[in-house]
Structure 1
Amino acid sequence: MVSGLVAAGALTAAGPAAADATARSQGGATATMGSLKTYGTAVVHGAEGDQEVSAGLFEMAVDGGGTLQTYCVDLHNPTQKDAQYHETQWSGTSLAANKNAGRVLWILQHSYPQVNDLAALAKKAGVTGGLTEQDAAAGTQVAIWRYSDGADVDAVDPQAEGLADYLQKAARTVSEPAASLALDTSAVSGHPGERLGPVIVRTQESAVTVIPPLDAATTGVRVVDAAGKPVTTAADGSRLFFDVPEGAPDGTAELTLQASTTVPVGRAFTADSRSQTQILAGSSESTVSATATATWAARGPVPALSAAKDCTHHGLDVTAANRGDEDFAFSLMGTEYAVAAGQSRTVTIPLQEDQAYDFTIAAQRFTGVLDCRTRSAETETADLTTQTLADPSPATVGGTTTDTNLAETGGTSATPLIAGTAIALVVIGGAVLVLLGRRENAAGE
């Protein structure tokens, strides 16, 4: 049963069975947001006036080692320093519905820092006087914002503005890059005595390390190939299975794949909290990983559960594959669902923009924040004076001294409405839990 689903970052109280559950890994790189490292200044033009913002490259530290350089593709949302970011598909971001997403990738591939010969870049762009790193970063970010957010924005420095204009005009559509490391599914299930899977590996590396379940020596669960041979490495297209011994007690196991690689330029990164979406501009050799979980039971329903953000339908897709011999029933936001034995079902949970979710189904916990919009339409007439969440924070145009950085903040005149909606959703979430509790008590009576 679902333990809860609420908004605004409120944490639901999961049941005892879910206490040790964790959020599902999407695979790829995980990193911590640092700050703007190389940047200039830009001006965003709006109905309420002009706003100066910092524009340039962010730097993130990769978990396990490595550094990422990113640009923002989410101008009007905040950037939270030290926020945890995860590599993800464009479908889980505002790029999903953006017909110009491929042009953003072209800009990344043909500008700084991928092109670090600034003299050559200036010549190609027709920029006289040359480019500094700050000019190159600011001009690139401005060009990206024009496509990612549809923003009316100019670089303050003439050289940076010249580069932005060139990149905007020259950009062509390029296909989304593949993940640095991913699995075709994050969850499998079945019965003891079976090979549970397959879990298919997707990677650009010739070989990745397979880390078996931590308690493999105790449970006897092995990670094997289709022929039943134990594996310690895998390659692109490898089919991995959990080999669960006959008679093993009901349980779960987890395998992890890990590699050191450069993350492909153009991969999107989203945060666990409300922090603006980033797109990769450059990567050092970095640690990437992907995780899959197996669940088995001798009888009854045996669900394999996974979830993915779906910005096309503005919600969260929850998939339940039942490999047991009885129906798997669960409740989600007050609605009852059933998945027949041997069948799979995907349920899309509609969510509000910026809504935090935290819920548990059958001891599997899913958490995150939906961030599918750039807010350009919402903020054209909004007051963009907001609380600064990270440094640096230049003053607004016109001589005011507010510590505002649009690229690193995100409150607007819509903030009270968002907060009110969040509170309402929390109340609704609580009501759902009460209703479920009454149903369970009635069933027990």
Structure 2
Amino acid sequence: MTNVSLPRALGRTTVAAGAAALLALGLAAPAAADNAVRAQYTGPADRGVDVRMDGVSQSTMLFTLELEDGSTFTTYCIDLETGIRGNAWYVEDSWANYPGQGAFSAPGKVHWILQNSYPTISAEQLAENAGVTNSRFSERHAIAATQAAIWHFTNGAKVTANDPEGVRKVYDYLVENAVDLPQEPGPSLTVTPGTAEGEAGSTVGEFTIETNATSAIDVDLTAPAGVTLVDLETGEQVESVENGDKVGFEVPAGTEAGQASFSLETTAEVSAGRLFKGEDPAEPTQTLITAKTEKVTVSASATATWTAGGGEEPSPSPSPSPSEEPSESPSPTPGPTPTPTPSESPSTPASPRPTAPDDDRPALPVTGGALLGLVAAGVAALGAGGGAIYLSRKRKAASGQE
């Protein structure tokens, strides 16, 4: 048998345990799932003229977001205080999750502006609605006026210079006439939450589908044999979903630990007023809002993981009937007691030998004569040991002299 030092053994045990823990974590960790529409900022769509706000000149533009399938839509900025990061990825989200530096205290009014300004309506129609008669009022001026009005309600900024082409007049029209539209436009497609965990033998996850798609969306399921996606209300297996459906993975008892996922793809509307925020909170970028309603191909997915379990519980082993006096080992079956033969002289009774206490009873303290006997025995043993050492050394000294 190889002799392994304790520190080395402990080290190997620690490494093995650490590796096992990492492996377990790797198996248990759910795969990242995109549960909302993603898009990447690829650059400006159209540029507006500069506008002076709170005494500072600000550039204005419409931003392009490109979906993973290559389709694009346009947005305005709703965070004047944060710059936009090149090639940043964005995800569709609700107004309540606005992460920008501004207050965004009147999202309903911003929504009204988007419904009643450029590019939802033409620059010519916007100028007419605002009473601007300057024929040189263009799309670039409409972008500037609309963006400035949005910043007024998201960052509290104000236009502080007149513009001869009518930007200031259109800005005033939008700010003064904006009303709070409390109804947030519905999402194009989201699955909430994106991940779930559970145990075999149960339904794992409660995924809510939200979409403005007008027809059912086919489900693309990736799962081990026997695992199905079911409607949580009916318990029936589903192959397509609609807005408001709640689904989960039915994982039979006895299924090994694993994971499953489903993905959805459809043509839906990204409505004007939908918020898109930076996907990575560690790298801040401007929060954007869709400028007009556009039909695009959108997708979303979700993943569930589970541990093994949920099978029939093993029957407990029958426990032996407790005896009146339990002991560590069974006592032999007693036989007939022999009749003692009387001796000519009474024998000296042997000294009582202390017995180990039963596990179920506390040990009694050693006192009195028994304690004195133990002390005497210890002294005798010590003397005998000392004598043996003395004789050994004396013999070695005698051998050296010879």
Supply the distance in 1 between the matched residues of 2:265 and 2:253 (Cα, whole angstroms): 29
Sequence identity percentage:
34
Name whichever structure is richer in strand by fraction: 1
Identify unmatched segments of 5+ residues in structure 1. 1-13, 301-445
Quote how far apart the aligned CAs of 1:15 are. Answer: 5.8
The letter for the 1-side match of 2:268 is T
2:139 maps to 1:133: yes
Query: Once the two structures are superposed, what CA deviation does each residue of 1:304-350 show, in whole Å capped at 9, x if it has no partner?
Result: xxxxxxxxxxxxxxxxxxxxxxxxxxxxxxxxxxxxxxxxxxxxxxx
Tell me the TM-score normalised to structure 1 length. Answer: 0.57
> Equivalent residue of 2:262, what SS?
strand
Pair 1:106 & 2:112 matched: yes
Q: What residue in structure 2 maps to residue 207 of structure 1?
A: 215
Aligned ranges 1:300-319 → 2 under 5 Å? none
Q: CA deviation at 1:71?
A: 0.4
The 5-angstrom pairing of residues 99-248 of structure 1 reads 99-116=105-122, 118-130=123-135, 131-154=137-160, 156=163, 158-175=165-182, 176-214=184-222, 216=223, 218-226=224-232, 227-248=234-255
Aligned-partner Cα distance in 2 for 1:285–1:115: 17
In the alignment, is the contact (CA less than 8 A) between 2:50 and 2:144 conserved in 1?
A: yes
Measured after TM superposition, the shift of residue 62 of structure 1 is: 1.3
Q: Normalization by structure 2: what TM-score? A: 0.63
Larger Rg: 2
The residue type paired with residue 287 of structure 2 is: T
* TM-superposed deviation, 1:144: 0.6
* Cα deviations by residue, 1:217-242 (Å, 9 ceiling, x for unpaired): x4432212244443221111223221
After TM superposition, list the pairs within 5 Å mapping 1:381-392 onto structure 2: none
Q: In the alignment, which of 13, 17, 25 is matched to residue 34 of structure 2?
A: 25
Cα pair distance change 1:23/1:225, threshold 3 Å: closer
Q: 2:260 aligns with which of 253, 256, 276?
A: 253
Shift of 1:150: 0.7
**How far is 1:53 from its partner?**
2.4
Structure 2, unpaired ranges of 5+: 1-20, 311-402
1:298 Cα deviation after fit: 3.2
The secondary structure found in structure 2 opposite 1:252 is strand
> Do the aligned partners of 1:65 and 1:286 also contact (CA within 8 Å) in 2?
no
Contact 1:41 1:138 in 2 (8 A): yes
Count of aligned pairs between the two proteins: 280
Please identify runs of 4+ aligned residues in structure 1 that moved more than 6 A: none
Secondary structure of the 2:96 match is helix
Q: 1: CA distance between counterparts of 2:32 and 2:152?
A: 34
Q: CA deviation at 1:283?
A: 4.3
Determine the structure 2 residue equivalent to 1:80: 85
Q: Which residue of 1 aligns with 2:393?
A: none
Name the structure 2 match of 1:277. 287
Instruction: Using the TM superposition, give the Cα deviation of residue 209 of structure 1 relative to its aligned residue in structure 2, in angstroms.
Output: 2.8
Tell me by how many angstroms 1:184 deviates: 4.0
Shift of 1:24: 4.9
Instruction: Please say if residues 41 and 52 of structure 1, whose CA atoms lie closer than 8 Å, have aligned partners that are also in contact.
Output: no
1:171-222 superposed Cα distances (whole Å, 9 cap, x missing partner): 11112222222234333333323233432322212334343443x2x44322
In the TM superposition, residue 64 of structure 1 has moved relative to its aligned partner by 2.0
Counting helix residues as a fraction of each chain, which structure ranks higher?
Answer: 2
CA distance in 2, matches of 1:201, 1:103: 27
Quick one: structure 1 residues 242 and 137, their matched pair in 2 at CA, closer, same or farther if it must change by over 3 Å?
A: same
Q: Structure 1 residues 72 and 286, CA, compared in 2 at 3 Å: closer, same or farther?
A: same
Deviation at 1:113, TM superposition (A): 0.8
Question: SS at the partner of 2:243?
Answer: coil
Structure 2 counterpart of 1:316: none
